[in-house]
Amino acid sequence: MTDATTQIKDTVTSNDVVLFMKGTKDAPQCGFSSRVAGVLNFMGVEFADVNVLADEGIRQGIKDYSDWPTIPQLYVKGEFVGGCDIVTEMTLSGELDQLFDKEGVAYNKEAADKIREANG
Known binding-site positions: 30
Q: What is the phi/psi pair of residue 105, to 5°?
A: -95, 125
Contact 58, 42 (CB under 8 A): no
Three-state SS at 67: coil
Q: What is the phi/psi pair of residue 12, to 5°?
A: -75, -25
Q: What is the phi/psi pair of residue 47, to 5°?
A: -145, 150
Binding residue ranges for [2Fe-2S] cluster: 30
